[in-house]
Amino acid sequence: MGDTTLETGVLAGDGRMLIGGELQGTASGAVFDVVHPANEQVVGQAVDGTVDDMARAVEAARRAFDGTDWSRDVEFRHHCLSQLHAALENNTERLRRILVTEVGCPVTVTGSQIESPIEEVRHWAAYGRDFDYVVHTGLHDTPMGPARRQLHYEPVGVVGAITPWNVPFYLNIAETMPALMAGNTVVLKPAQLTPWSGTELGRIVAEETDIPAGVFNVVSSNANDVGAALSADPCVDMITFTGSTATGRAVLAAGAPTVKKTLLELGGKSAHVVLEDADFTSALPIAAMMACVMSGQSCVLPSRILLPRSRYDEGLEILKVSMENFPIGDPWTPGIMQGPQISEQQRQKVLELIRSGIESGARLITGGGIPENLPVGYYTEPTLLADVDPDSRVAQEEIFGPVLTVTPYDTEDEAIEIANNTIYGLSGEVSSADVDRALAVAKRIRTGNVSINAKSHFGINSPFGGTGQSGLGYRNGAEGYREYLSIKTIGLPE
């Protein structure tokens, strides 16, 4: 389970689980392989935890919440998260190499997945220390006479966090740090394809902070039923999950018998409405970059490009040139911006959806297959499909690959109708020379977040959540912190 450094720069992480304050394996000693998607080689192992291991982790979290002062001592929580921030900073390069190893994320673009989440730890530590956990609402007239009322914000209890593989370290931080700072205890189940980004966080918590035993637990596993057990456990008070809508439905159903609070960030099929007066030479190369920079493995990607018919050919040509010149290759090479898909299974899913689009009448402009110069690794060519039917599979299903679909429209109303023609509602974008016009269109798109002229809607101080089948609840901002708190209203004598 120790470090293994290869010539490529691949780094094996600490694969042990953290349960009740102890870094450990499972009773049988079982492990599963971690594969580097850029060379298809096994680069190490992680502990293959069981349902019994998950039950022990939940029990440890329950015991820590009910039997320690963690939920009541905000200054101690601030101290512990400040320690963790410093420890993560000291481990930055190790974490970066683990991320590239597990995900194939190009080292050039790891800042948003390493440095940014590390800073989020410090943000939540400060935010939680300054948060007003008791709010006085004043004097109220009641049938029983005047009464004072107080709102007490209290931690929910035991939080189970199930995270995906596309941006694993960031989401391990985003789903656990506000929960911890709010006074909850946490059980983290990292994704099967990227266990080290979770187990390494557990190691750092155990070895370099004063976070008490049981407050933070990590259970890695290659079995789906382990995550399902976390969702269903009656001792878990809340589940936070990021991943596919299909799995989100299962998480929601598993928590229903105990009426768990559930925070879901699910799939997306976002549209980019490019209005006729937009600066195509600015907007469309950025759209191509966003489709490729994480190998298309992003839930907020505006993968459906809607172009005015009057400028359709012009827009297609700009997108084609941008995608054909996008730097794809070995993620360890500086300057490379697109690496491989996470796995061969994921690559085949992407290629199958591309084929389905062509079969339904879409026109392949560029890409569509495996790069000839990258025969090893799970690489997919940046792909542009034109004349895409808004009702086709490729326009309706989340692809999670470097693929843009382009559909023409004749009127602004038609563009908005196409944009809203989806079960999802996570993100979106509008491009126009007239910001007021773009804002008017953005307000008509049924989605939780919209960017205008590539100005990002995403940030630690702003709530992020979806509509439709893209999720429930919010991350980030005041709304995101309050997700991990319950409100108790107390009536007092005058």
Convert 392-411 into a string of H (helix), E (strand) and C (coil): CHHHHCCCCCCEEEEEEECC
pLDDT tens-digit profile of 351-384? 999 999 999 999 999 999 999 999 999 999 999 9
- Tokens matching residue 194: 């990227």
- pLDDT for residue 8: 52
pLDDT tens-digit profile of 42-59? 999 999 999 999 999 999
Q: CA 63 to CA 58: how far, in whole Å? A: 8
- Mean confidence (pLDDT) of the chain: 96
pLDDT surpassing 50 at residue 7:
no
Confidence of residue 70 (pLDDT cuts 50, 70, 90): very high
Q: How many residues can be counted in the chain? A: 494
What does DSSP assign to residue 40? T
Please give the average per-residue pLDDT across 416-431, as a whole number. Answer: 98
pLDDT surpassing 90 at residue 9:
no
- Judge contact between 363 and 385, C-beta under 8 A: yes
What is the crossing angle of helices 280-292 and 312-324, to 10°? 40
pLDDT tens-digit profile of 329-357? 999 999 999 999 999 999 999 999 999 99
pLDDT tens-digit profile of 144-170? 899 999 999 999 999 999 999 999 999
Domain with CATH 3.40.309.10 in the chain: 271-452
- pLDDT for residue 25: 97
What are the angstrom distances between the C-alpha of 290 and each of 59, 272, 360, 491?
42, 11, 25, 52
- pLDDT for residue 226: 97
Q: CA 298 to CA 320: how far, in whole Å? A: 21
Bridge partners, 147 (sequence order): 140, 493
Domain with CATH 3.40.605.10 in the chain: 17-266+471-492
- Residue from 465, 68, 65 nearest 262 by CA: 465
Q: CA 20 to CA 63: how far, in whole Å? A: 9
- Residue from 443, 447, 415 nearest 428 by CA: 447
- Judge contact between 260 and 239, C-beta under 8 A: yes
What is the torsion angle, in degrees rounded to the nearest 10, for the CA atoms of residue 20, residue 23, residue 28 and residue 29? 170
Bridge partners, 24 (sequence order): 17
Confidence of residue 14 (pLDDT cuts 50, 70, 90): confident
Where is 66: in which H helix or E strand? helix 51-67
Q: Phi and psi for 475 in degrees, rounded to 5?
A: -110, 160
DSSP 236-273: --EEEEES-HHHHHHHHHHHGGGT-EEEEE-----EEE
Give the CATH number of domain 271-452. Answer: 3.40.309.10
- pLDDT for residue 421: 98
- Residue from 354, 285, 272, 358 nearest 323 by CA: 285
pLDDT tens-digit profile of 271-320? 999 999 999 999 999 999 999 999 999 999 999 999 999 999 999 999 99
What does DSSP assign to residue 118? H
Q: Which stretches within 293-387 are classed as H helix? A: 312-324, 344-359
- Tokens matching residue 173: 């931080």
For the chain, give the percent of residues with pLDDT over 70.
98
- Judge contact between 306 and 315, C-beta under 8 A: no
Confidence of residue 13 (pLDDT cuts 50, 70, 90): confident
Q: CA 21 to CA 19: how far, in whole Å? A: 5
For the chain, give the percent of residues with pLDDT over 90.
97
Can you tell me which residue has the tokens 């976002």?
270
Q: CA 62 to CA 284: how far, in whole Å? A: 50
Amino acid in position 34:
V
- Residue from 157, 346, 144 nearest 237 by CA: 157
pLDDT tens-digit profile of 205-257? 999 999 999 999 999 999 999 999 999 999 999 999 999 999 999 999 999 99
- pLDDT for residue 6: 38
Q: Phi and psi for 352 in degrees, rounded to 5?
A: -65, -40
pLDDT surpassing 50 at residue 440:
yes
pLDDT tens-digit profile of 97-123? 999 999 999 999 999 999 999 999 999
pLDDT surpassing 50 at residue 5:
no
Burial of 131 (0-12, 13-18, 19+ CB in 10 A): middle
As annotated, the active-site residues are 265
Contact partners, residue 293, CB within 8 Å, separation at least 6: 109, 337, 338
Where is 92: in which H helix or E strand? helix 92-103
Q: CA 60 to CA 20: how far, in whole Å? A: 5
- Judge contact between 426 and 376, C-beta under 8 A: no
Q: Assess if CATH 3.40.605.10 describes domain 17-266+471-492.
A: yes
pLDDT surpassing 50 at residue 4:
no
